[in-house]
């Protein structure tokens, strides 16, 4: 009984760690978080994604009778970015700048580490945001709930998968190092289970069709990153999350 209670408390702490890292929701911490706890919390990244999606749908539901679809989706996308601290968007910009710098691995890693934004990264960011708004506007009303709920969960599952199957690309430490080097089979299985259960509950067997594109994209990204960089970084994980959100939303459009 004591063991079960301890496991529940540990899991709750890991969920709160994930929630505090992935969102701007203030989570009080009574003790310092160990680096290993950040990696273990990745098991629950898709769960946090579901919460983010529920908040986004709540905004959509409350505003849909008062504003135009375009304005609503702009607000939803803005809250989506701001509510997560724009952490992954920043990684996306850095990754675009890095991979645009040339084929040299060290050059790519060096540019991604530069805190300044390049023009290519900014242009890609603007296109990404516009594209996400356009996709959301094209998704039918009866699928908005499912797409907003599932897409953030799938994108965060892809980060866990990449961290599990890839090594850390940098020789020295970085923001993503504690995550990538400590993610194990437990985190991967739990994250897969959360996405699978949520998807089957919401979409039944149609969820399998929706997952085809995200799974293929994740596998392709992992193979590409292993070949190009020898692994992943925190910026790459952020970029993968952003791209996977677009892929997941597009998957809803494709199959419906």
Distance CA 162, CA 211 (A): 16
- Burial of residue 8 (CB within 10 Å: 0-12, 13-18, 19+) is exposed
| Residue 128 parent element (H or E) | helix 119-138
Closest CA to 192 of 227, 233, 250, 153: 153
Tens digits of pLDDT across the chain (256 residues) = 554 445 555 668 888 888 888 888 877 665 566 666 777 888 999 999 999 999 999 999 999 889 999 999 999 999 999 888 888 888 899 999 888 887 888 888 888 887 777 788 899 999 999 999 999 999 988 889 999 999 999 999 999 999 999 888 877 766 667 777 778 899 999 999 999 999 999 999 899 999 999 999 999 999 999 998 888 888 899 999 999 999 999 998 887 6
Count of CB atoms within 10 A of residue 178's CB?
18
Q: Can you read off the two tokens belonging to residue 103?
A: 């084929």
**Residue recorded with tokens 């899991």:** 11
Put simply, whether the predicted model's pTM sits higher than 0.95 gets the answer no
Q: Can you read off the two tokens belonging to residue 230?
A: 């020898």
The pLDDT value recorded for residue 60 is 93
């Amino acid at each position: 009984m004591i063991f079960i209670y301890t496991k529940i408390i540990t899991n709750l702490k890991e969920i709160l760690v994930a929630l505090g890292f992935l969102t701007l929701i203030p989570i009080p911490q009574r003790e310092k978080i160990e680096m290993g706890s950040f990696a273990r919390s990745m098991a629950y990244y898709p769960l946090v994604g579901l919460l983010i999606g529920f908040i986004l749908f709540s905004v959509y539901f409350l505003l849909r009778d008062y504003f135009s679809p375009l304005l609503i989706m702009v607000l939803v996308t803005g809250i989506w970015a701001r509510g997560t601290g724009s952490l992954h968007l920043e990684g996306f910009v850095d990754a675009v700048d890095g991979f645009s710098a040339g084929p040299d691995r060290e050059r790519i890693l060096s540019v991604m580490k530069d805190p300044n934004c390049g023009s290519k990264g900014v242009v890609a960011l603007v296109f990404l945001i516009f594209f996400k708004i356009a996709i959301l506007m094209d998704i039918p009303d009866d699928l908005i709930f499912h797409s907003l709920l599932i897409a953030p969960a799938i994108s965060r599952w892809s980060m866990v998968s990449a961290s599990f199957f890839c090594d850390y690309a940098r020789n020295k430490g970085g923001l993503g190092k504690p995550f990538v080097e400590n993610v194990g089979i437990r985190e991967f299985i739990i994250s897969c289970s959360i996405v699978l259960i949520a998807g089957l509950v919401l979409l039944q067997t149609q969820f399998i069709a929706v997952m085809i594109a995200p799974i293929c994209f994740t596998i392709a990204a992992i193979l590409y990153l292993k070949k190009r960089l020898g692994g992943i970084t925190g910026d790459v994980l952020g970029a993968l999350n952003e791209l996977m959100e677009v892929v997941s939303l597009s998957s809803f459009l494709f199959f419906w």
